Chains A and B, each alone.
Chain A
Amino acid sequence: MELQLGLALPPPPLIPIETFDLNSYGNYETREALGTNALSWPLLKLGPADNDINNIHHHNSSSSSSSSGGGAGCKKRSFDEAPVFDEKRNVPKTLHLLLWTNQPNDEDDDPSNVLHENSSSAIFKNDGEGLVGWPPVKTWRKKVHHQIPNGGAENNRLPAVENGIGGRASKSTYVKVKMEGVPIARKIDLSVHHSFEGLTNTLMRMFGISDGNRKSFKLTYQDREGDWLLAEDVPWRTFIRSLKCLKLIRSRG
């Protein structure tokens, strides 16, 4: 899992920049296994770290990766030289709750496993569209793109509101979903779902309900008049048009 995410915490900074091999930063694999429209991070073959900024002016377009990259002529500062509390610099005096020493924290266990456990769930906790928060496009902008025909070929068609979301009064395709007994509401993007089956699958995954427990939950929704109805009682299009928010309740009996 940690390799898939490419978030392996690098070793503590003992190594000067010149020899830091970015190849060990992480292997990137596609995340098709998750069935999401995930970004695939190609396996990168990287050379030594790039030159320091003082050399920019001497470069033309292709920055050389070899000669001035490593070695003694480089003006880069290694970690040991980095002047951290340099009185000449006009920075606010730092209150050290921890003295910056450039030494690795001996007491840290390798937190990489823990990190990935948490961050994997953080990253994949999403509304069906890959990384949460990435790319940084506002929600209502994402909706615009769903409705643009592929390649924009049919520009003289009437607006493409017939994607199953047409008629929904609110601009956003996200609706709130609550589960009985869970205080935190979630949001789900309706425009990526086209059937009760798909919607239910996503909800089960979102709330961590296993297949075995599916039967004990029922999907209800609140319509525009404020009434609570059973989702499966109405056709999909009616459901989409009139729903305001969703709630998963435990079925009794």
Chain B
Amino acid sequence: MQKKTAYSFPDEILEHVFSFIQSGKDRNAASVVCKSWYEIERWCRRKIFVGNCYAVSPTMVIRRFPDIRSIELKGKPHFADFNLVPDGWGGYVLPWISEMAGAYPWLEEIRLKRMVVTDESLELVAKSFTNLQVLVLFSCEGFSTDGLAAIAASCKNLRELDLRDSEVDDLSGHWLNHFPDTYTSLVSLNISCLGSDDVSFSALERLVGRCPNLRRLLLNREVPLDKIANLLSRAPQLIEFGTGTYAAELRSDVYSNLAEAFCNCKELKCLSGFWDAVPAYLPVIYSVCSRLTSLNLSYAPIQNPDLTKLVSQCPSLQRMLVLDYIEDSGLEVLASSCKDLQELRVFPSDPFGEEPNVSLTEKGLVAVSSGCPKLQSVLYFCRQMSNAALVTIAQNCPNFTRFRLCLLDPKIADYRTLQPLDVGFGAIVEHCKDLRRLSLSGLLTDRVFEYIGMHAKKLEMLSVAFAGESDLALHHVLSGCESLRKLEIMNCPFGDKALLANAAKLETMRSLWMSSCSVSLGACKMLGQKMPRLNIEVMDEKGPPDSRAESDPVDKLYIYRSVAGPRFDMPPFVWTMDEDFASELS
């Protein structure tokens, strides 16, 4: 018998050690130490995250990891959220489900983002994974309530069903009824995206009533206000609740029932929903306010002073989502009341209006940055900004991890000095050393990109629109941002030079999106030929790119690294620039 050397552990011990390593990155690191660690690790990996479903094929995943219990897949590029990716682009989950059905019968968790999920896929999920506990469909589309019915009927161990932001085709049919009466394991249910005919209210009530572990319930808009009290009284253990429409004529019985129901939810910490909210019913939640850590009022057309009054009663808030009706004055109150605030998102109530309809300016954000020392994550839509304000914000909040500023007028300058906003954003990247995500807007020259390349060493995702003057800008980013994973660019005058000079960088990133820029077809073809581990996809709805000259700019360009080679499910308006493409045209 071969003696093990003093340097080797028995496999079982290593496996036990690995079981404490949960993070995918750490596991990846462990797997490249040596061959035996690679082998042991791959057999005991249970959870996998695939940031781009086309970067690898299901076959490859299954071959390497034979026993996965939890998978997360992402499909379309982020700009699909803003209608920049035409229908039919791709991101189909069926091939994954089909292969996993045979290979992972014990799969427990499926999390999908921006993927096309069909009823057929859902039916296959229901049939194949009897132990499914978590199904999250985040910004997905392509399925109907029939698919949901299949899940409800078969997945006896389902704990979490979350359809956030998905587009679901309504077909008449009460899919909630398909949860059998014996089913009691629901812990989290998010149906906030569903339309009117999709939810049978009595079935929902019965479901809520028989699931004692239900902690998270996000209703859809069509659930009327007067039904909420009943639901809440069946689930006083809720931690997170999303209302439906929060508007009705004021009736004292409805009001008092609702107030009592909220009061009895002693563990409620997160509230959302509030569609079409009316001020009359807001005080009903006052009893909960002091405990609230997360409040999403971004669908509520509530204005000051009601809005500010509500906010001032929530001293424990860590996460606040709101419309710009809060205005600078409301944000000042937020800054003085909510010292634990970590995340703020302010959405535009009238994004397409030409004139401001509310008094929300840079001052609100400065106030919050000054008053809330724990602020880490910001998404802020407004209509004016100054470099001075951005510098102040940066100095106040060196701990920012996410900073997304959207000035509604795409190329607006510093309103006080009429200068570009380069210096302001430069201050953000210089002071916020842990910044992982940044979205730029306003008038910006190449200079801001120089600052970004110089300082933003931890930046992983950068979103750029209507900015920069030349390829130098793109070159600064690609050559300077060491941690860059995702870069998305629209309407910038960036051409071939920076891309070609930094081709190798693209293999270190997950993806690059460029639309309405100046990258030529010739450059795309060259990249396709020289970089076999990149998929270069050109999108053009006007016709095949070979009908135009090599120097013509392509409409949309999506580049991503992949070990699976070019994909085969492309629609007619997507062309992949691989070697074949280049050769068949020359």
Question: 1/0 contact trace for B434-452 toward A, CB 8 Å?
Answer: 0000010001011100110
Total interface residues on A, CB under 8 Å, equals: 104
Q: Which residues of B contact A6 (CB under 8 A)?
A: 411
Q: Which residues of A contact B301 (CB under 8 A)?
A: 148-149, 152, 155
Within B266-318, the residues touching A (CB, 8 Å) are 275-276, 278-280, 298-299, 301-303, 306
Given contacts A10-B470, A65-B417, contact A152 B303 (CB under 8 A): yes
B501 touches A148 (CB 8 A): no
Within A31-53, the residues touching B (CB, 8 Å) are 37, 39-41, 44-47, 49-53
A46 touches B413 (CB 8 A): yes
- Of all A-B residue pairs in the complex, the 8 with the closest CB atoms, nearest first, are A95-B504, A98-B500, A159-B276, A169-B170, A169-B195, A97-B500, A133-B82, A50-B419
Contact of B417 among A62, A152, A184 (CB under 8 A): A62
Extra contacts, 10 of them, besides A100-B497, A184-B86 (Cβ < 8 A), are: A47-B419, A50-B387, A115-B553, A134-B465, A139-B82, A155-B301, A159-B275, A168-B195, A224-B171, A224-B172
Question: 1/0 contact trace for B488-499 toward A, CB 8 Å?
Answer: 001101011110
Within A237-253, the residues touching B (CB, 8 Å) are 244
**What would be 9 A-B contacts, judged by CB atoms less than 8 Å apart?**
A62-B388, A95-B504, A111-B518, A111-B551, A132-B82, A134-B490, A137-B348, A149-B301, A171-B220
Given contacts A119-B491, A135-B408, contact A156 B447 (CB under 8 A): no
B116 to chain A, nearest CB (A): 13
Q: Which residues of A contact B221 (CB under 8 A)?
A: 171
B518 touches A170 (CB 8 A): no
A7 and B541 CA atoms in complex are apart in Å by: 21
Q: Which residues of A contact B541 (CB under 8 A)?
A: 125, 184
Q: Which residues of B contact A144 (CB under 8 A)?
A: 275, 299
B170 touches A170 (CB 8 A): yes
Asked if A22 lies at the interface with its beta carbon under 8 angstroms from chain B, I say: yes
B302 touches A155 (CB 8 A): yes
A138 touches B81 (CB 8 A): yes
A141 touches B347 (CB 8 A): yes
A-side residues, CB < 8 A to B, are 6-7, 9-10, 12-13, 17, 20, 22, 25, 28, 37, 39-41, 44-47, 49-53, 56, 59-63, 65, 76-77, 79, 82, 84, 89-100, 102, 105, 108-109, 111, 114-115, 118-119, 121-123, 125, 127, 129-142, 144-145, 147-152, 155-160, 167-172, 176, 183-187, 224, 244
B571 touches A56 (CB 8 A): no
B417 touches A133 (CB 8 A): no
B504 touches A93 (CB 8 A): yes
Asked if B181 lies at the interface with its beta carbon under 8 angstroms from chain A, I say: no
Q: Which residue of A lies closest to B490 (CB)?
A: A133
Contact of B349 among A127, A145, A186, A244 (CB under 8 A): A145
A94 touches B491 (CB 8 A): no
B83 touches A127 (CB 8 A): yes
Q: Which residue of A lies closest to B473 (CB)?
A: A13
Asked if B482 lies at the interface with its beta carbon under 8 angstroms from chain A, I say: yes
Q: Which residues of A contact B475 (CB under 8 A)?
A: 84, 100
A241 and B299 CA atoms in complex are apart in Å by: 23
A105 and B500 CA atoms in complex are apart in Å by: 13
- The B interface, classified by DSSP as helix, strand, loop or mixed, is loop
A98 touches B423 (CB 8 A): no
B350 touches A145 (CB 8 A): yes
Q: How large is the interface on B (under 10, 10 to 19, 20 to 34, 35 or more residues)?
A: 35 or more
Q: Which residues of A contact B508 (CB under 8 A)?
A: 92
Q: Which residue of A lies closest to B275 (CB)?
A: A159
Q: Which residue of A lies closest to B529 (CB)?
A: A97
B327 to chain A, nearest CB (A): 12
Given contacts A98-B501, A155-B279, A184-B573, contact A49 B447 (CB under 8 A): yes
Asked if B472 lies at the interface with its beta carbon under 8 angstroms from chain A, I say: yes
A160 and B277 CA atoms in complex are apart in Å by: 11
Q: Which residues of A contact B553 (CB under 8 A)?
A: 111, 114-115, 118-119
A116 to chain B, nearest CB (A): 10
B19 to chain A, nearest CB (A): 34
A125 and B573 CA atoms in complex are apart in Å by: 15
Q: Which of B5-13, B35-43, B246-254 contacts A (4 or more CB under 8 A)?
A: B246-254
A90 to chain B, nearest CB (A): 7
A167 and B275 CA atoms in complex are apart in Å by: 16
A134 touches B79 (CB 8 A): no
A94 touches B515 (CB 8 A): no
Given contacts A20-B445, A39-B354, A96-B501, contact A158 B249 (CB under 8 A): yes
Contact of B551 among A10, A77, A89, A114 (CB under 8 A): A114
A12 and B470 CA atoms in complex are apart in Å by: 7
A147 touches B276 (CB 8 A): yes
Given contacts A152-B303, A156-B250, A156-B278, contact A133 B79 (CB under 8 A): yes
Contact of A61 among B388, B466, B482 (CB under 8 A): B388
Given contacts A123-B516, A129-B352, A172-B167, contact A7 B526 (CB under 8 A): no
A185 touches B278 (CB 8 A): no
Q: Which residue of A lies closest to B506 (CB)?
A: A95
A109 and B522 CA atoms in complex are apart in Å by: 14
Q: Which residue of B lies closest to A149 (CB)?
A: B301
B409 touches A41 (CB 8 A): yes
Q: Which residue of B lies closest to A103 (CB)?
A: B497
Within B228-280, the residues touching A (CB, 8 Å) are 245, 247-250, 275-276, 278-280
Q: Which residue of A lies closest to B277 (CB)?
A: A155
A22 touches B420 (CB 8 A): yes
A207 to chain B, nearest CB (A): 11
